[in-house]
Amino acid sequence: MAFSAICERNAPVSDVKEERSLELSLFRETAERIVSALPPVLFRQLNGGVLVVPGARSDGEYLVMGEYIEDPGLGSIIVLYYGSFAEELEDASEDQWIEEIEETVLHELRHHVESLAGVD
């Protein structure tokens, strides 16, 4: 699936490790819980919703944790890259994972709201 990125939230790239402290299913549940706790008005016109992608994404030496995408054909989407979180938070506690997921969702959602307001 090809997307054109508008904004990326980056973290430095570290060595790839296989062990992941928060499984993908729990990551999805956590992201869904965070999104569900926010006011629905913030998601107006986010017609692609919040998508969790299992893989990692990098931009040069930085991991891309999430991105806000505006695509004429696909609409507006927030993407969270589970693999990037897993690489960055390999030895982190569940609370640290939750904090980083929430911070990333809010960061990308801010770009969506700015887009609705006509701010680049």
- Is the pTM higher than 0.75? The answer reads yes
The answer to whether position 108 is within a domain reads: yes
CATH code where residue 57 lies? 3.30.2010.20
Query: Domain of 87?
Result: 5-11+22-116
Predicted confidence at residue 101, as pLDDT, reads 98
- pLDDT tens per residue across all 120 residues of the chain: 222 333 444 455 444 444 447 999 999 999 999 999 999 999 999 999 999 999 999 999 999 999 999 998 889 999 999 999 999 999 999 999 999 999 999 999 999 999 999 886
Q: Which two tokens stand for residue 80?
A: 């969270």
Buried b vs exposed e over 76-111: b needs ≥16 C-beta within 10 Å? Answer: bbbbbbbbbbbbbbeebeeeebbebbbebbebbbeb
* Model pLDDT, residue 74: 85
Q: Identify the three-state secondary structure at position 109.
A: helix
> Of 80, 103, 64, nearest to 29 (Cα)?
80
User: Is residue 17 a part of any domain in this protein?
Assistant: no
Question: Around Cβ 37, how many Cβ atoms within 10 Å?
Answer: 8
Report the amino acid identity of residue 60: G
